[in-house]
Amino acid sequence: MVGLCRGPMPRCTCLHTVSTTEAACSSALTQHSERLHASARILGFQIPFSVAQIDQACRDVIKAQGLVEGYIRPIAWRGSEEMGVAAKATKINLAVACWDWGSYFPMEERLKGIRLCWAQYRRPDPMTAPCKSKATGLYMICTVEKHRSMDEGYNDALMLDWRGLVAEATGANVFFIKGNTLHTPIPDCFLDGITRRTVIGLAKNHGLEIVERQIRPEELAGFEQCFLTGSAAEVTPVSEIGEYRFTVGQITKTLMEEYSAFVRPKSAADRKLAVAI
């Protein structure tokens, strides 16, 4: 992500998993393009293409690449016309990259539940970083932590926020389950993921209660199940976070299957659901 284009200028990205051209036509694509626009505005620049134009560019790239299932990443950035801190005279660029990418976490490990360690870096205070923007600069600590977790034999790391509360994984949001209630941190200093919101919708359809609240790390001892959500991670069960253990239970499995059907709609019912959420 950070390697896609180098330089000192603000850039933001937005990513979207696509499966067949059906998903590329979905409302999710527009939500991602809208977030790209919003991210740029937070960083102080205006993307010179409309949301509809970005959507269309994504569809064109998917078609040109002939991808059945893969990953698409529009990215916007300021050019290098100015070398100082001031960058007002730079041109605003937009690129759309698309590639074949299998499961973000190995499928056999997803089915067993992936293993997370605790991250050392924390999500920054909103007063110190533009945390509502999907800015590539915010991924520096995510990459460092992801690498650290892999070096230690884990799949990912769970990050706390600047206050020491549970935040998210390095590229995905987190949910916990106790009984029929889902608990997830309030996204007040990290990304309110599009998948997160979709999964909340799916869970509500099942009559599950959703509690968005501050979660202290020691509370993990009281949860039975845990999963991550993200465009790449989809719904990924978690079996372990540091000293805490979780089972891959029925609610997690149901949401995993339903989200998969949501992004790969095969039946009329799945398509209806995709439109409803």
The residues that touch ligand PLP, with contacts defined as CB under 6 A, are 15, 142, 168, 171-173, 190-191, 193-196, 229-231
For ligand PLP, the closer CB: 231 or 239: 231
| Smallest distance from ligand PLP to CB 89, Å | 30
DSSP at 217: G
| CA dist., res. 83 & res. 46, Å (int) | 20
| Smallest distance from ligand PLP to CB 194, Å | 4
For ligand PLP, the closer CB: 185 or 193: 193
Q: Is 230 helix (H, G, I), strand (E, B) or coil?
A: strand
DSSP at 44: T
CB 223 within 8 A of CB 194: no
For ligand PLP, the closer CB: 87 or 191: 191
| Smallest distance from ligand PLP to CB 151, Å | 20
For ligand PLP, the closer CB: 62 or 194: 194
Q: Which residue is nearest to ligand PLP (CB)?
A: 193
Handedness of CA 242, 245, 250, 251 (dihedral sign): negative
Burial of 131 (0-12, 13-18, 19+ CB in 10 A): buried
For ligand PLP, the closer CB: 9 or 14: 14
| Smallest distance from ligand PLP to CB 267, Å | 23
Q: Is 117 helix (H, G, I), strand (E, B) or coil?
A: strand
| Smallest distance from ligand PLP to CB 189, Å | 11
Complete DSSP assignment for 138-157 = GGHHHHHHHHHHHHTT-SEE
